[in-house]
Amino acid sequence: MVAVNPPRGMRDFLPADKARRERVLALIRERYRAHGFDEIETPVMEDHARLHAGVGGDNEKLAFNVMKRGISAETLAATTDAADLADLGLRYDLTVPLSRFYASHRGELSGVFRAVQIAPVWRAERPQKGRYRQFMQCDIDIMGDASSRAEAELISATLDVLDALGLSGASVRINDRRALDALLDVFGFPEADRPGVLITIDKLDKIGPSGVAAELRERGSAASSVDALEAFIAGFEKPTDPFGAAQIRALLPAGIPDEIVEHLVGIGEAVSAARGGAPLEFDPFLVRGMGYYTGTIFEIAHPDVSYSLGGGGRYDGMIGRFLGQDVPAVGFSIGFERIVDLVQIADDAQSRSVVLVHDKDVPVAELLAHKARLVADGARVRLEQRPRNLKGVLDRAESDGYTSFATMSAGQDELEIKPLG
């Protein structure tokens, strides 16, 4: 028998899996709505030029391009530049579409707009465990607010969502791209080299301080700059003091602008007031790879897992590319595909789910009348014609989340509902 599988890196979801994913998504939506975020929807495709505007980092290289209609075979054979062949592309994240959306509808939106976007995105990844070509993103963003209140709202709302999902105990690692830039300036890295230097620093958790230093030397960075950075990293100790100006200053070299520290401190004070404590940790080596970040950046850490459960940051320059006028913006994305397998949310409908197994000769009118009464009482009902092997039907129903069953013969007035399992 020939296997018929979905495309590589993409997945089918059986009913039980789909139901569990939808329960998690419903809770995420409900909590974000409670925090004042409004859900929007954007097309799955955007203009090719917009997706390749130089703000998406390596994700731009992973975009699925959509070929122009009506291209001749001769043109196709003679052209190697994707931009000449494609005019659209599948979105690789939700931030670029959101920025275009805001620029399109700014006059219809509030001065400070809080958006929720929950939708699939596509990247031409090399498929492997935990890395897919189609996956769900859950983003919240605030546009029009340059103050630390915006970051504090995002962090508080996201931690509330994680608590509701049963993932309490999460903390947020936080940094600022301006602090990173100032740090590299203190150590003497030329401005033109800094994007590549940040890519290397982003590998710190994997290759360690000596690996970072070796890679920077291979890139041709000045020995004095590399030595200073390596010494700084090697001497770094995780903070033990409460999050605040003293902690941040202690973890940075002299010369970091006061406004950066004050912005971070303002975030910590606001989150602490909202949650009775600030589960924040300043991490001067947190980079995050997206090229559009201009200020604060953050990631979710949880003691039960070794990987991040989400992240985000401030991207004040992106909307201006579409609008011609800069608008402050900051966003936070939950790693849905990572958390959905970690949480278990009970389905309230399961306690009222019934498989109605009927004989072949039961009139359709009787059958649907019984089903209608059960549905009206709040039950979820599946009809199954009685097979020779009743156990197989009941086992499958139980695996699909049903909790009870009843059998029905022609002319039967009352149903006896019994538990499955």
Q: What is the pLDDT of residues 293-314, one digit of tens each?
A: 889 999 999 998 888 999 999 9
In the predicted structure, residue 350 carries a pLDDT above the cut 60 = no
17, 75, 129, 161, 334 from 339: Cα distances, Å: 14, 45, 14, 11, 8
What is d(CA 382, CA 251) in angstroms, rounded to the nearest whole number? 61
Which residue carries 């409004």 as its tokens? 38
With cut-offs at 50, 70 and 90, classify the pLDDT of residue 349: low
Mean pLDDT of 72-96: 81
Q: Are residues 311 and 357 in the same domain?
A: no
Average per-residue pLDDT in the chain? 88
Q: Over 82-107, what HEC string results?
A: HHHHEEEEECCCCHHHHHHHHHHHHH
Q: Are residues 288 and 395 in the same domain?
A: no
The answer to whether residue 206 sits within a structural domain is: no
What does the pLDDT look like over 190-244, one tens digit per residue?
888 888 888 888 888 889 888 888 999 988 888 899 898 888 888 877 777 777 8
Q: Are residues 181 and 274 in the same domain?
A: yes
How long, in residues, is the chain? 421
pLDDT score recorded for residue 209: 86
Mean pLDDT of 262-275: 90
In the predicted structure, residue 139 carries a pLDDT above the cut 60 = yes
The answer to whether residue 332 sits within a structural domain is: yes
Over its C-alpha atoms, the chain yields an Rg (Å, rounded) of 27
The answer to whether residue 124 sits within a structural domain is: yes
- Amino acid symbol at 111: G
Final residue belonging to a domain, choices 292, 317, 339? 339
Q: Are residues 280 and 410 in the same domain?
A: no
CATH of the domain at 331: 3.30.930.10
Structure tokens at 29: 């939506």
CATH of the domain at 363: 3.40.50
pLDDT score recorded for residue 348: 59
What is d(CA 300, CA 169) in angstroms, rounded to the nearest whole number? 10
Q: Are residues 166 and 306 in the same domain?
A: yes
Q: Are residues 356 and 332 in the same domain?
A: no
Q: How many domains, in total, are found in the chain? A: 2
Final residue belonging to a domain, choices 293, 321, 339? 339
Q: Are residues 149 and 240 in the same domain?
A: yes
Residue 283 region by backbone torsions, left for phi larger than 0, else alpha for psi between -120 and 50, else beta: beta
Name every residue whose Cβ is closer than 8 Å to that of residue 281 and which is 6 or more positions away in sequence: 171, 172, 173, 174, 238, 239, 243, 301
Q: Are residues 325 and 258 in the same domain?
A: yes
What does the pLDDT look like over 108-120, one tens digit per residue?
999 999 999 999 9
Final residue belonging to a domain, choices 289, 315, 339? 339
The answer to whether residue 49 sits within a structural domain is: no
For a pLDDT cut of 70, what percent of the chain falls above it? 95
Q: Are residues 269 and 381 in the same domain?
A: no
Q: Give the domain range for residue 372.
A: 348-419
The answer to whether residue 220 sits within a structural domain is: no
Nearest to 291 by CA among 54, 62, 52: 54
What does the pLDDT look like over 356-369, one tens digit per residue?
999 989 899 988 99
